[in-house]
Structure formats: C-alpha cells, structure tokens
Structure 1
Amino acid sequence: MNFFVVLNGKALKNVVLILIAAFFTAWFLYIENLTQIPVFSTKDGPKAVFHGEKGIALTFNIGWGDEKAEPILDTLKKENVKAATFFLAGSWAERHPDIVARIVKEGYEIGLLGYNYEDYTDLEDVKIGQDISKAQEAFRKLNVKDIKVLRAPTGHFDERSLKIAKRYGYTVVHWSVDSKDWQNPGVTKIVDNVKKAKNGSIVLLHASDGAKQTEKALPIILQGIHKKGLKLVTVSEMISNGDARSKEIK
C-alpha cells in the first residue's frame, strides 16, 4: 500500500522555514559550546582578552598605597591560593620593591598596569608607548622577568592602545567580572558581585589602599569558588592554547 502526503504551497513554505530555523538554532548552540576565548579586537588586529578557557583567574590591580597589598597576600597564603595575577603600576613597584619581591617569591603572576595611572585613550600614541616602556624598565630593574600581560591602567583602551601594547609584546587583559570593590559597597555586595563568576571568568579585584573591604571579602569569595569546584589559575595559564572569538572595536 502506498501513502502520499500532499502539501500545498503555503504548508511547504512553513515546513522549509521551520527546518531552516532548526538548522541555525543547532548551529548557534554548537558554536557556543566550542572552547573559545572571547576577546575585544580590531577587525584584523590585536586583541584584548576578557574571558578565558578554563578555570577562574583572580586579578588584583595595585596602583597606589602600602597598606592593603600585604594583607591580601597574607589572606591568599592562609587560604592556600597558589595562582593569582597582580597587575602592578611601575611607579608603585619602584616604591615597594619588597612587596613586588614577595609576590614573585610566592609564585603569583605579575602583569603591567602601565607606569603612571593614566587613561590610555586620552594619551597620544607616543605617550602610551613611553608609559609602557617606563614600566618595562621599572620591572627590569626589579629583576621581574617574562611579563606577558598588560591591563590598561584605568581599564579604558582603544584600537591604538591595543596595537601599541602588541608592539611591545603584551596581551591586553580586561575582565569579565567586576567585583566593584573599589567602590567599597560592603563585603556582602562585593561577594555577590563575584558570585556570577564561572569557568573562564577573569575577576577584577584591587589591592590598592582605596579598596578597603577586599581583604574581608576575599575568604568568602574563595569559599564560593571552591564550592563551585573551579580551579584558580593565572591569566596566562587561562588563555594559553585557546582559540579566540573577537568583538570589533570601533
């Protein structure tokens, strides 16, 4: 016995549209599940990483002050944290060589936060290059080697600063989770801000004196990370061997 299905033109068109929609839905789900490192980038140029591949990276910016950095390091040691990345301003590092030496000794990664705390989007190209170069020299004198990552001092960057950073051999690193600890909104709020962190997140924290509540929030943050079963890694460990997805900077 033979069975025939008769479709009129309208019904056939609906079926085709449903099949096309199903195909693209499946394709987008497939793409989202690929292992990738999202980045900001120029169309065909250098990139700024804001999300990683595996683990979670705690990053601490330090631009000024001498009261909060060591208590943060004490907390990390007490909590047996072996991996974190400290973005240090060169001018601060020059004034606090002992703290820089401790960061290195305890095995944490150091990244550049420029030399002076200036907004790179407000500077001429030559001034950006001079700031990076001056920071390089400061860390060279402190015998800190193999710095691979750089964060724009104020977090603001553009196509020019990406290209200049690449010229000096650095990958610009942004963040995907902002603790907003610099606002001193309260320990509970800082912890809540970081709760959204997941596998691949780069978390922005501060160890400058202006961030007065980070030290108390940090143990609770670490407890939450451990409960999620996430591994703490440095930024460089996170982004190594990853494919990249980019967002064009205009």
Structure 2
Amino acid sequence: MNRKKFAVVGICAVLVLTLGELTGIRSFVDQALRPNVERDAFGWLSGSQGEEALLGRIRREAEGLRREPIDAVVDRVWKAIPGYNGREVDIESTFQKARLKPEGAEIEYLYKEIKPKVNLEDLGPHPIYKGNPNKPMAAFMINVAWGNEYIPPMLDTLDRHRVKATFFFDGSWLKKNPEIAKEIQKRGHQLENHAYSHPNMSQLSDSLARLEISKTKEALKETLGVENRWFAPPSGDFNQRTVDLAAEQGLKTVLWTVDTIDWKKPPASEIVRRISEKVGPGSLILMHPTASSRDALEGMIQVVRGKGLRLGTVEQTLSSDRVELPQS
C-alpha cells in the first residue's frame, strides 16, 4: 500500500514539473510573437534602462553634429552677404525614431535649423553680388530684353537637367512677349525685375529711376501674378541711390559673381572654361538668351555640379536656408 502511495506521489510530481516546463515554453513563445512594442535600438534591452542609454548616446553625439549659424555681413568688396543657418540635432524626434529600430541599426539624426542673429534684411540697402560662401549652392540669373529665339532651347536644357533659374525681365519686353514669359513661368522658374527700358540707372533722375522699377514691378504682377522681390540693374549700372530707390519699393538690388560675357559671342567652350575657373559656393552666374549661352548651358550645369554645388534660383541661393548635400 505504501508503495502504491509513493508511486502516485511520484507521478503527480512529474506531472507538475512537466506542466511547469510547458507553461514556461508557452510564455516564451507568447513573448516572441507579441507585437514588438518595447524593443528599441538596443534590441531586447528594453525599458527605462535601455532608453536612457540610447538618449544619452544621442545627446553626446549631438554636440559634435551641431553647426553654428553665420551672421549676414557687409563686406568691403562684396557688399551685402547673406547669413547662413546653423543646425542642431532634434534630440526628441531622433530619439523617438531610433527607439523603434531593430538591434544594431544606425541612428538617423534629425535636425532643426538655427537662424543667424543678423539677417540680410537687417543690413539695410546694399547691393548683393553673391550668396554666403559656406552655402554649397549657385544660381543662373538670365537677363531678358531680347533673344527670344534662344529661350526655348535654353528652357529645354534646364528642364532636362532639372534646374530652376531666375529670369530678370525688361518690362517693355514683358509687355511685348507675355506668352513667352508665361511659358518660362510654367516651367517653374523665378521671375524678377530688370527695369523697364534697359536704361543706365545711375544716370536717371530719382523720378525716372523709380518709374523704371515700378512699371516692371506692376507688369510682373498684372501679367504673371508675380510679387517682385529682386531688382537687377541693366548692364550692372547703378549707384547707391538706385539701391535706395529699389529698397523703397521692397526690392533688393542684385548683381552677379561670375559673368559669361555672352554678349561678346564667345564660343561655348570659352564660357564653360570661365565658369569652371570662377564659380564657387554662393555664385550668381549672369547670362542672357544668346547663342553662346544656349550652347554652353549644358556644360555650365555639369561644371557647377562637378564642383559639389547645387543649382537653384537667386532666391534660394541668397536665402539663409541650409543645403545639406549627400555624403560621398
């Protein structure tokens, strides 16, 4: 009898142990199949300890990734030079994204920009010849008062390379050629002011200079719905009074950094060579709708991009917004 009792007790003990093991296995399986809510960049090291370690790492590395903003200045040679935004890691957004990634995944840092203390608007009326030299961007500025036959192929080249330029319209040309102007606008380019009748602005009275600017500003608004912001004086002829009169109408006076000198009808190869030698971060590249620039445009695009610069409009190039190029 005692042996039977002993056997029953033994069998019960085995059953208890077996059920315990099965329960443990099932719990493990349930854990593995449960939605991966608490796993983060540290894998199974979840919970407050793992998240604190991840957050601490992000904060440490954020210090080395910070870039200070650069204030706008008035340079002795280049006159007004725009500022350039800095950047800092958006720690909270970076952490929230990183904690959901699998074990061993690289942290993707998210940034927010830091505005300079001094911006272009704070400098007062000064001519602008270039963007900030720390910004890896350049712009084509195309002054239009003639050369209609060269505009379509230039637009096609810009389209093919996904480049947006800034066209400065002579107001009298705009009045005579609204359909061409609308086609340029349709292609997504920036449209700005090149006075009305291509005069030497420095030789005009205040009233005539003011009228040259205002008539084209009104034509841009009436014909194209454009709110004009920039003024390029014809032939680069201006004085401080010109800059002040443009500023009265809310316009900044912009010149150029690099000139194609395409009006002298050089071969395309000479234009490309000149751009290659002189273009750099912040460059504004002047051209007109000419046969020379038409033929050189593709080569110019390749040269600028080959120097690690992004091509954009004058507005984009002279803004303080950061440009982050892909790491090579």
Show the counterpart of 1:13: none
Show the counterpart of 1:175: 256
Show the counterpart of 1:66: 148
User: Within 2, Cα distance between the matches of 1:52 and 1:89?
Assistant: 24
**Contact 2:221 2:227 survives alignment (8 Å):** no
- Establish whether residue 57 from structure 1 lines up as the match of residue 136 from structure 2: no
Give the 3-state SS of the residue equivalent to 1:57 in structure 2.
strand
- Establish whether residue 235 from structure 1 lines up as the match of residue 314 from structure 2: yes
Q: Please give the per-residue CA displacement for 1:171-202, whole angstroms capped at 9, x wherever unaligned.
A: 10001111111111211111111111011111
- Establish whether residue 40 from structure 1 lines up as the match of residue 79 from structure 2: yes
User: Within 1, Cα distance between the matches of 2:172 and 2:287?
Assistant: 19
User: Within 2, Cα distance between the matches of 1:221 and 1:65?
Assistant: 19
Question: Measured at CA, do residues 73 and 205 of structure 1 come closer, stay the same or move farther in structure 2, by a change above 3 Å?
Answer: same
Q: Which of 226, 240, 249 is the equivalent residue of 2:305?
A: 226
Q: How does 1:1-250 map to 2 (within 5 A)?
A: 36=72, 39-40=78-79, 45-53=124-132, 54=135, 55-81=137-163, 83-195=164-276, 196-207=278-289, 211-241=290-320
- TM-score when scaled to structure 2? 0.59
Q: Please give the per-residue CA displacement for 1:151-188, whole angstroms capped at 9, x wherever unaligned.
A: 00121110110000000110100011111111112111
User: Within 2, Cα distance between the matches of 1:159 and 1:202?
Assistant: 20
What amino acid is the match of 2:138?
I
Give the 3-state SS of the residue equivalent to 2:296 in structure 1.
helix
Please report how far the alpha carbon of residue 40 of structure 1 lies from its aligned counterpart in structure 2 after TM superposition: 3.0
Give the 3-state SS of the residue equivalent to 1:154 in structure 2.
helix
What amino acid is the match of 1:228?
K
Question: Measured at CA, do residues 36 and 188 of structure 1 come closer, stay the same or move farther in structure 2, by a change above 3 Å?
Answer: farther
Please report how far the alpha carbon of residue 80 of structure 1 lies from its aligned counterpart in structure 2 after TM superposition: 2.1
Unaligned runs of 5+ in 2: 1-69, 81-122, 322-328
Please report how far the alpha carbon of residue 111 of structure 1 lies from its aligned counterpart in structure 2 after TM superposition: 1.2
Give the 3-state SS of the residue equivalent to 2:310 in structure 1.
coil
**Contact 2:262 2:287 survives alignment (8 Å):** yes
Give the 3-state SS of the residue equivalent to 1:114 in structure 2.
coil
User: Within 2, Cα distance between the matches of 1:166 and 1:241?
Assistant: 20
**Contact 1:61 1:204 survives alignment (8 Å):** yes
**Contact 2:191 2:226 survives alignment (8 Å):** no
Give the 3-state SS of the residue equivalent to 2:291 in structure 1.
coil
Q: Please give the per-residue CA displacement for 1:69-121, whole angstroms capped at 9, x wherever unaligned.
A: 1221111112221x211111111111111111122121111110001110001
Question: Measured at CA, do residues 77 and 120 of structure 1 come closer, stay the same or move farther in structure 2, by a change above 3 Å?
Answer: same
Out of 103-112 and 156-165, give the one that drifted further: 103-112
What amino acid is the match of 2:130?
H
**Contact 1:45 1:163 survives alignment (8 Å):** no
- The structure with the greater share of residues assigned to helix is 2
What amino acid is the match of 1:85?
T
**Contact 1:40 1:47 survives alignment (8 Å):** yes
User: Within 1, Cα distance between the matches of 2:291 and 2:320?
Assistant: 36
Unaligned runs of 5+ in 1: 1-33, 243-250
Give the count of matched residue pairs: 204
- TM-score when scaled to structure 1? 0.76
Please report how far the alpha carbon of residue 132 of structure 1 lies from its aligned counterpart in structure 2 after TM superposition: 0.9
**Contact 2:258 2:275 survives alignment (8 Å):** yes
User: Within 1, Cα distance between the matches of 2:281 and 2:317?
Assistant: 10
What amino acid is the match of 1:77?
D
User: Within 2, Cα distance between the matches of 1:235 and 1:179?
Assistant: 16
Please report how far the alpha carbon of residue 144 of structure 1 lies from its aligned counterpart in structure 2 after TM superposition: 2.9
Which has the higher Rg, Structure 1 or Structure 2? 2
**Contact 1:36 1:52 survives alignment (8 Å):** no
Relative contact order (C-alpha < 8 Å, sep 6+): which is higher? 1
**Contact 2:221 2:228 survives alignment (8 Å):** no
